[in-house]
Amino acid sequence: MSRAERAVPPASTLTEGRIARQARWEEMRRRIYLGIAGGGMIVQVVVWVLNLQRAYPDVVTLYSNPVFFAMSSWNLFWLYTRRPIETVYAVALAVCGAVIVARAVVTPLQGGPALLTSLEDLYWLLVIVSIVSFLMLNYRRAIAVTAGFYLLGVALPWAVMALNNVDFFQAARLAQIQLLCGMVLATLWSLAWYREHFVLERQALLMTERLANTDALTGLNNRHALYPLLDQKHDRGGALLLLDIDHFKAVNDRLGHSAGDEVLRRVAATLRRSLRDAELLGRWGGEEFLVMLPGVRPQEALQRAEHLRRAVAAQTDPPEQAVTISVGIGLIGAGEGMSAGMSRADDALYTAKQQGRNRVWVSEPARSAPQPARRRGADQERSASGS
């Protein structure tokens, strides 16, 4: 690998693929949140109505549920108009935090037989805040936010009851609920820690694997990655195409290695655009590329190789970087190994270059000598001249 090749960042195709995956994930996440917001509105209306039916309606629920309903309605509008999801997190965290503080202060002052039930709602809300925090913030900040709200949710009810001489006979039950909530939050924190470290390690592993299997200059599979992929595709037979850029050394000598690298990138991009989904492409080494055509017949292999050769020859901008390719086809019979096809493709490529370059040559299993691809019209004349 040249110095210029090592200096080139990963190919744009990798970045585009990563951006496409992120866009799909964002779209799926947006749809999930739209469903949650719509379902939340229904739940909030039902809870609000049921609260009104109680003998002693909960004051905080009476006023907070309309606030939650308004927040969910705004969330629907915000998400439907495709605005940043992070804003939804921030608003949800702020509203839930305000309701937690209000419930922790107002509920003990309200007193009554429903005091314990009303305080239980507070700790369910703490779990929701914890989940939102881990979605919105990094692990350390989410821990700090949820721990802070939990301490407020534990301390404020006791402080308010002590300061106002509220008689509360179910103190043990309240402490039990608070401890249970603490255990649930600790479990969420542990899962979040595990997820964060697991994701980071997996990303590092995937990046290492990608770097090991990807040619940094062209973004194609390198030879190391091609071997297992070829083994997966050769069972049905088909053809191997070994492509070589004609007079590539002269391009480097005349224009410099940077221009040579650009030629390699352009050829790789042209080949990628010209292939079908089932066809496999990789950089074999130097100025050579390998294409696997699984399950094709000899005539179709010739047509596909000609299509690739013409596509590369048609790229003439800039004119000084215009190049042609020679293509050797190694046909693979059903049940044959890849080594036989590679040997035929290599022999056919050698013959194509000896015959004048910018042409396709095929080597079939049943024949002892390679055979040239048939050409027609002006294209045949240009190929025969080795242009």
Domains of the chain: 3-212 (no CATH), 223-384 (3.30.70.270)
pTM here is 0.49
Q: What is the pLDDT along the chain (387 residues), one digit of tens a residue?
A: 333 333 334 444 445 555 677 778 788 888 888 998 899 899 889 989 988 888 878 788 888 889 989 999 999 999 999 888 888 888 888 888 888 888 888 877 776 666 777 777 788 888 888 888 887 777 788 888 889 889 988 888 888 878 877 666 667 778 888 888 888 888 888 877 777 777 777 777 767 667 677 888 998 989 888 888 887 776 677 899 999 999 999 999 999 999 999 999 999 999 999 998 889 999 998 999 999 999 889 999 999 999 999 999 999 888 888 999 999 999 987 777 788 888 999 999 999 999 999 999 998 765 444 455 544 333 433 333 333
Angle among Cα 244, 337, 333 to the nearest 5 degrees reads 85
Q: Is 25 helix (H, G, I), strand (E, B) or coil?
A: helix
Other residues' Cβ atoms within 10 Å of the Cβ of residue 284: 21
Output the six-digit token pair for 175. 């402490």
What does the alpha-carbon distance between residue 256 and residue 261 come to, in Å, rounded to a whole number? Answer: 9
Please state the φ and ψ torsions of residue 226, each to the nearest 5 degrees. -70, -35
Q: Known catalytic residues?
A: 287
